[in-house]
Amino acid sequence: MDISVVVPLYNEEDNVQLLYEEIKGVLDTMAEQAEIVFVDDGSRDTTLAKLEVIQAGDDHVRVVSLRRNFGQTAAMTAGFDHARGGVIITMDGDLQNDPHDIPQLVGKLNEGYDVVTGWRYDRQDPFLSRKLPSQLANRLISRVTGVGLHDYGCTLKAFRREVIDNINLYGEMHRFIPAIASGMGISFTEVKVNHRARRFGTSKYGISRTIRVVLDLITVKFMLSYATRPLHVFGTVGVVSSLLGVTIGLILTVQRQLFGIGLANRPLLLLAVLLIFMGIQFITIGLLAELVVRTYHESQKKPIYYVRKVLGEPVERAG
């Protein structure tokens, strides 16, 4: 199997058939062997029934039915686990992404990139509730992660299998796969893709998603930059805070002992104590995080590096 198209679906009954026909039409024009993995994310309408009918008539379709609604990221991960292709394409199941862009994405991968992401340059969604927050979020993500993409939220993306295999997703982090993968040293690029307005069904998200995206961004940034050295982050803050507190404390002590200036009405004393306490806490949290990080890496045999390739065989010792 060369290509797996992974599609998460939650209450998309009116889109399923059209989507299948459109994807199939595109895959049939391609030379590569391809399969479609539909993941029903606990839909409460007839989505699953429609998928079952489609699957019965086409061996190249796999349907993964989740027991309840686990969310888009979990649904996509379930799809990855059941996909057999060396290339994995993800797309939305609401017909907003255009399957006709698939050959374009695969072409870019064949040029040597590990990840190709779609850029909805002419996005067909409401401005205030979707495009504006998304634009701000995209800029923020680019700034913080140093990954220079225009559109992180576009589900239409293509990955080499190794990229997906090395990433564990939590929360709603599917949009951060390129950013997380950038920490592995993979190469990525983006291509402009078509985007269409939703014709059937309703969007599953509201404006509150923005907050969750920002929170996920903090996690990703931390994992990317400091996951193998948390004490450097917490410890730096802690040391600076403690030093500041101790300095203020010393000044107050000198003033009290040598010049007889009373301490009862000095708010600075409170600040000094607070800074020292905070400092100690930050350092302690950093140490705890060091323990957690070691458990995380060592219990799962997770490397702190990723090898591109190794040249030469190990030489056997004589004797």
Complex with ligand UDP: residue 67 or 301, whichever CB lies closer: 67
CB of 209 to Mg ion, least distance (A): 12
CA distance 34 to 109: 15
Q: Is 216 in the site for ligand UDP (CB under 6 A)?
A: no
Upper half-sphere CA count for residue 268 (Cβ side, 13 Å) = 15
Amino acid at the residue 144: V
Structure tokens at 275: 């800074």
Q: Which of 32, 60, 71, 281 binds ligand UDP (CB under 6 A)?
A: 71
Q: Write down the residue that tokens 């219990």 correspond to.
A: 299
Tell which one of 15, 96, 182, 241 touches Mg ion (CB under 5 A). 96
Q: Is 101 in the site for ligand UDP (CB under 6 A)?
A: no
Q: How far apart are the first and last CA of the chain?
A: 46
93 contacts ligand UDP (rule: CB under 6 A): yes
Under rule CB under 5 A, residue 12 binds Mg ion = no
Q: Give the range of 20-28, 92-100, 177-185, 220-228 binding ligand UDP by CB under 6 A.
A: 92-100
Structure tokens at 25: 């039409």
- Asked if 79 touches ligand UDP (CB under 6 A), the answer is no
The helix/strand/coil state of 5 is strand
Instruction: Please report how close the Cβ of residue 19 comes to ligand UDP at its closest, in angstroms.
Output: 9
- Sign (positive or negative) of CA dihedral 29, 35, 38, 39: negative
- 9 forms part of the interface with ligand UDP (CB under 6 A): yes
Which is nearer to Mg ion, 131 or 297 (by Cβ)? 131
How many other β-carbons are positioned within 10 Å of the β-carbon of residue 267? 7
Among 3, 5, 8, 116, binds ligand UDP (CB under 6 A): 8
Query: What residues numbered 219-258 form the site for ligand UDP, per CB under 6 A?
Result: none
Q: Taking Cα atoms as reference points, which of 152, 192, 156, 175 lies closest to residue 26?
A: 156
Q: Which of 13, 35, 94, 190 binds Mg ion (CB under 5 A)?
A: 94
Q: Which two tokens stand for residue 38?
A: 């539909």
| E strand or H helix that includes residue 28 | helix 16-28
Supply the minimum distance, in Å, between the C-beta of residue 5 and ligand UDP: 13
Residues of this chain that bind Mg ion (CB under 5 A): 92, 94, 96
